[in-house]
Amino acid sequence: MKEKFLGVDVSNFTYDQLKNNIISDINEKRKSFIVAINPEKILQAQKDRGLLNLLNKATYQIPDGVGILIASRLNGGSIKERVTGIDMLLALCEQASLHDKSIFLYGAKPNVAEEAKDRLIELYPNLRVAGVLDGYVKDQEQIKETINEAKPDILFVALGSPRQEHWIVDHMEELDVSIFQGVGGSFDVLSGKVKRAPAGFQKLGLEWLYRLIKEPWRIKRQIKLPTFLVKVWKSKK
Ligand code: UDP
């Protein structure tokens, strides 16, 4: 159920398949790790073998970004739906509240995870939040103990990429957690510190355009999309 783009695996599961798989992973006590893949990360992995191996270690590499959908089409693949990091986080919180599983929010600036928690409880009143911890605590032992005492089923890690992915791989085994997801700036969005594109932009696949208007420096990141598509196209031959 994976497609490869320049050596990086991407899962072709839809939200519904992911939701079912993850609840089974928790019930059967399997550890899994979700990472959001976009063209920028794939290009970065071309220059960094360690990052490439790290991304391929994940259980579910979700296709975050229209660039991946276009690349899948170029390769004759079957990835038709974008699965964004923040929507996956919301889908998991919904599942957690339906199946009585707990979550933990680790990362972002002090108070942000707390505010993200309040927003999630507004959305899913039955959600069990086992704990929150900001991303600037330095003591790794303290972080490990806090999470292990809370024993969440799902841990969201918001330390930015690829730092959060390295952190997850380095700590997965010693943490009493089933599902790990790296969520980048999602707590900032949930807390209201950073606004997401209006629904209309999202539906049309133009979230990138909205972000470009709001944060013009993003052009440096977005300009990489054509490079990525050309590389995928060439790698076919
Ligand atoms: N962050 C953190 N600890 C750090 C560095 C960053 O918790 O030592 C947080 C930061 O506050 C922000 C997130 O990591 O909430 C990074 O978000 P960004 O949008 O840069 O990540 P991306 O989605 O681009 O990977």
pLDDT tens per residue, range 56-84? 999 999 999 889 999 999 999 999 899 99
Whether ligand 1 lies within 6 angstroms of the CB of 233 is answered as no
Cis link prior to 125 (omega < 30° from 0)? no
pLDDT for the residue 237:
65
Q: Are strands 2-5 and 8-11 parallel, antiparallel or unpaired?
A: antiparallel
Residue with tokens 């939200």: 15
Rounded to whole angstroms, the Cα distance separating 40 from 37 reads 8
Residue 60 Cα to ligand 1 midpoint, Å, equals 21
Q: How many angstroms is it from 234 CA to the middle of ligand 1? A: 33
| CB of 167 shorter than 6 A to ligand 1 | no
pLDDT of residue 214: 83
Question: Within 13 A of 87's CA, how many CA atoms are on the CB side?
Answer: 15
How would residue 206 be classed by pLDDT, with cut points 50, 70 and 90? confident
Nearest to 43, CA basis, from 223, 182, 224 = 224
Confirm if 140 and 89 have CB atoms less than 8 A apart. Answer: no
Residue with tokens 């208007």: 213
pTM (whole model) above 0.85: yes
Tokens of 123: 């959305």
Whether ligand 1 lies within 6 angstroms of the CB of 64 is answered as no
